[in-house]
Amino acid sequence: MKNINKYLNMLLIQQKTEILEIALNLKIFKLIQEGVNRVFDISLKIKIDDSKTKILLDSLVFMELLEVKQDKYYVTQFAKEFFICGTSSYCGDVFLHRKQMIENGKKMIKSLLEEDIKLKDNKTAKLWADASKKFLKQEQRNLIAPIALDIIKNLKEFNFINKMLDLGCASGIVGLEITKNHPTLKTTLFDYKEVTDIAKEHIKEYKLEKQVTVLSGDIEKDEIGTNYDLIWCSNIFYFFKNKKEVIEKIYNSLSPNGILVSCHVEIDTKNNLDENSFFYFLSLNLQGKNILKPMELSKIFEEVGFSTINSYTTYKTPMTPSQIHICKK
C-alpha cells in the first residue's frame, strides 16, 4: 500500500537545509571544536538566546552533525571532515552555493505555469570565475579530484602519459591534483579567460608553474591544443549546442593513442533511481540545456572514432551518480 508520507516528508527537507545554512554561517562547528560547547557559552558567542540556541544545536544532533554528552555538544567525525571552516577539507561553501542554486531554480520552476517566458542563461564566464575562487575549488579538491585521480592512476598507461588537458577546468584543481601525482606530466588547463585567471592563482598555490600552463577560450569556438595523451572533462557537455562537433574536436586534439576520460550525469526519465538527478538538473533543463540521456555520449564517442569505450557508473560524485567513460583513440 502506498503511503502519502513520502510526499509529506518532503516538506521537512527545507527546514533541515535552513538549519544547516544557519550553522555554517554562524561557524557553529568550528566554535564547538574549539571548546565552546555548552548552550550558554555558545549562545553568548552567536548572540542568540539560550532556548533558540538549544533548538539549533538539538536540530544538528538529529542531523548527526553534533553529539551531546552531559550537556556538552561535540562535533561528529563527519562534520569535522566537511563542515569546520578553515580546514583543507571544508565543503560548507559547496553546500551553501548549491542551496542558492536550488533557490534560484524555484523561479525557473514557476515558469512552467507561464507562457512564452524566456529564461536567462546565467552561466557566464564571470560567474564561473567567481565560483572557481571558492565553492568550486572546495568541491573539486575534496569531492571530485579524489575520484578523478583514482580513475586516472589506475589507467595502465598512466606512467607513460606526458601531456594532459583539463578541459573546462574551472578552478583547475582536478588537473593540478593529477599533475601533483605525476612528476613528468605537462598539463594544460582550459577555460574562459576569466576562469583561467583564477586557475593561475591555484597553479602558484600548488607550486606547479613548471608543469602546468593555461589556455583560454570558448571550447566551442576556439582551438584547445593538440597531441594530448590524456584529456579529462567533467560536466561540460550539457552546455554545448552541438555535442558531436565538440567531441570531434576533442578526438582530433588527442595523440594517436590518447585517452579521453569523461565524467557526466546521464538521466533516464523512466528510471526511478534517477529521480534526484532529474530534479537537481531541472533548472538547467528549463534553460534549454538538455540533460544527457543514457548511451547518448557513448554513441557519439563511437561515431567520432574512438576504438574502445569503457563505461561505468560512480556513486561517489556529489548529489548525483555520474557516468564515467574512458575512451581510447
pLDDT in tens, 124-155: 777 777 878 888 999 999 999 999 999 999 99
Sign of the C-alpha dihedral computed for residues 122, 126, 132 and 134 taken in this order: negative
pLDDT, one tens digit per residue, over 5-27 is 888 888 889 999 999 999 999 99
Q: Average the pLDDT over each of 112-121, 287-296, 318-327 and give the range with the smallest value.
A: 112-121
Mean pLDDT over 300-318 rounds to 96
DSSP state at residue 307: S
pLDDT attached to residue 133: 81
Please state, for a pLDDT cut of 70, what percent of the chain lies above it. 95
Please state, for a pLDDT cut of 90, what percent of the chain lies above it. 75
Q: What is the CA radius of gyration of the chain?
A: 22
Could you tell me which of 76, 125, 101 has the C-alpha nearest to residue 281? 101
At the topology level of CATH, where does 5-90 sit?
Arc Repressor Mutant, subunit A (1.10.10)
Mean pLDDT over 310-327 rounds to 94
Which one has a higher pLDDT value, 104 or 190? 190
CATH pick for 125-135+143-269+290-328 out of 3.40.605.10, 3.30.1950.10, 3.40.50.150, 3.40.50.300: 3.40.50.150
Looking at the predicted structure, is the pLDDT value of residue 265 above 70?
A: yes
pLDDT attached to residue 119: 45
* Residue with the three cell numbers 564547538: 32
Looking at the predicted structure, is the pLDDT value of residue 301 above 60?
A: yes
pLDDT attached to residue 55: 96
Looking at the predicted structure, is the pLDDT value of residue 220 above 90?
A: yes
Domain(s) labelled CATH 3.40.50.150 in the chain stretch across 125-135+143-269+290-328
Sign of the C-alpha dihedral computed for residues 286, 128, 324 and 103 taken in this order: negative
Half-sphere exposure (Cβ direction) of 324: Cα atoms closer than 13 Å: 18
Domain(s) labelled CATH 1.10.10.10 in the chain stretch across 5-90
Which one has a higher pLDDT value, 311 or 120? 311
Cα–Cα dist 245/225, whole Å: 16
pLDDT attached to residue 114: 64
Looking at the predicted structure, is the pLDDT value of residue 108 above 90?
A: no
Q: Average the pLDDT over each of 96-100, 277-281, 284-288 and give the range with the smallest value.
A: 284-288
